[in-house]
Amino acid sequence: MTRLTPITFEDTDIDQIASFEGRIAVLVDPEGRLSAGARRVNKLTRGALQRLVESEKFQAVKPGQSMVMSYPTGLAAEAVDVIALPKSADQSHMRKAGASLAKTRGTADVLLLAAGQRRISELGYGVAMRDYAFEDHKSKPKAAQGGVRIMCSKPQEAQAASVRLMAIAEGAHMTRDLTNAPANILTTTHFAERLAEMENLGLKVEVLDEEELAKLGMCTLLCVGQGSDSPSKVVVMRWEGGKKDAAPLALVGKGVVFDTGGISLKPAAGMEDMTMDMGGAGVVAGVMRALALRKAEANVVGLVGLVENMPSSNAVRPGDVITSMKGDTVEVINTDAEGRLVLCDVMWYAQERFKPAAMIDLATLTGAIIIGLGHENAGVFSNDDALCDAFLKAAKTEGEGAWRMPLGQAYDDLLKSRIADMKNIGGRPAGSVTAAQFLQRFVQDGVPWIHLDIAGVASVKGETALAPKGATGWGVASLNRLITNMFEPS
């Protein structure tokens, strides 16, 4: 797993500044006032820092952004990163500042002078989130990241706050690692093994094989993987940190390790990106890791359906009729609409076995959601306003884009089949909505439910605020916050 940047907090000692090798970072508020550490840097550089802060270029720098003084006279450091940041900066700007520092520092050690700055642990979180590179399969990976030492006013408090944030960052890194991994490495078997390893964190992990799934009647899930040599699996991860009698939150993830589209074959161009079609399962795994690392006081069960969708003589065909675990029959119109076939069985199993207080599923489900929302927001579908509003609030707090989408009978009617209880697609119009309507048919009465279509946000071609291009880890922070707000003692 990708290693988190070592971040430590300590008391300010300005006598160390002159001899520190690596990079020094200072925080400067919009009025240009310098902290004690920054004043020492300014003195050692013979006023160079003050001149930079008073320049027109620095005045145009936005909160959280930085300018660099390279090879400054009077210091052993290779550079000074000057970050514009008000002392009362909010969480978003603090994280942005950390990400900015992570981008400029390369692999160098960093000494950050932050005496008097509030929410300094949030800046460390920004560093940890942006300091990510997936290099597992490069013959010559980059040198390991250096550490970040943060000199601040209350280091013990900052360190304590950082423990929780680093758990979230580690969960997001796990999600990124899984989502970035190639399909010849991250097979269904290897994926299950990676999740089983989290038993050493205190999770209870079960791996259900094809024989067990068949006995349970998970035929819609099994039909997706029947054209592949990789065995289909369902992995159940339980974190039991809450009251013994408290019903858990159920998180359900789509884990299609590679999606060719099956017999309804996808175009060749861009198919290599379908290694990320297990992104929903990756988020569930990352959330479960974060909860275990921070010892969350909540009961949460994470379930992921792991399959590979391949064309072969054994593959499910358009026109086939499959019976779900629920007992409803599905006419398969398009084998490339496979994610909902995986999710519906796992969702039904989660409700039958765990009687959850609420259920949230995540999937890179439809290209239609990208047409509607681009790569800025995940689509949010829900049958419960309170749960949905709580999630949207959590996502906004964490800076992860999410937008509520509609549900309704007219959309559901598009799924009617002549020969079965339903079709697996409703046609081109409102494709992401009809996919959600399909899943809602497998939500039991009285169960608050959210469906998150993360096709546009799980992996992107350009960098985001806290991630380089590629897998983002979207959703780990938002779901963690939702669990904190709704399912843990206040």
Per-residue pLDDT of the chain (490 residues; tens, 9 = 90+): 788 999 999 999 999 999 999 999 999 988 888 888 999 999 999 999 999 999 999 999 999 999 999 999 999 999 999 999 998 899 999 999 999 999 999 899 999 999 999 999 999 999 999 999 999 999 988 777 899 999 999 999 999 999 999 999 999 999 999 999 999 999 999 999 999 999 999 999 999 999 999 999 999 999 999 999 999 999 999 999 999 999 999 999 999 999 999 999 999 999 999 999 999 999 999 999 999 999 999 999 999 999 999 999 999 999 999 999 999 999 999 999 999 999 999 999 999 999 999 999 999 999 999 999 999 999 999 999 999 999 999 999 999 999 999 999 999 999 999 999 999 999 999 999 999 999 999 999 999 999 999 999 999 999 999 999 999 999 999 999 999 999 999 8
CB 277 within 8 A of CB 256: yes
Structure tokens belonging to residue 45: 């550089």
Q: Which residue has the tokens 């400054």?
A: 72
Over its C-alpha atoms, the chain yields an Rg (Å, rounded) of 24
Catalytic annotation, residues = 266, 340
| CA–CA separation, 253 and 363 (whole Å) | 6
Which residues, including other chains, have CB under 8 Å from residue 434's CB and lie 6 or more apart? 411, 412, 414, 415, 425, 426, 427
pTM exceeds cut of 0.75: yes
User: 169-487 has which CATH code?
Assistant: 3.40.630.10
Q: In 181-324, which ranges are continuous DSSP H helix?
A: 188-196, 210-216, 219-225, 279-293
Domain positions in the chain: 7-152, 169-487
Structure tokens belonging to residue 334: 């398009």
- From the candidate CATH numbers 3.40.50.620, 3.40.220.10, 3.20.20.70, 3.30.70.20, the one assigned to the domain spanning 7-152: 3.40.220.10
Residue 193's Cα: distance from chain center in Å? 20
Structure tokens belonging to residue 283: 């988020």
| CA–CA separation, 16 and 25 (whole Å) | 13
Amino acid at 425: I
Measured CA distances, 383 to 323, 359, 433, 445 (Å): 25, 11, 13, 10
| CA–CA separation, 323 and 330 (whole Å) | 6
Measured CA distances, 167 to 186, 292, 352 (Å): 23, 8, 31
Composition of the chain by helix, strand, coil, percent to 5: 40, 20, 40
CB 465 within 8 A of CB 95: yes
Structure tokens belonging to residue 328: 């409803």
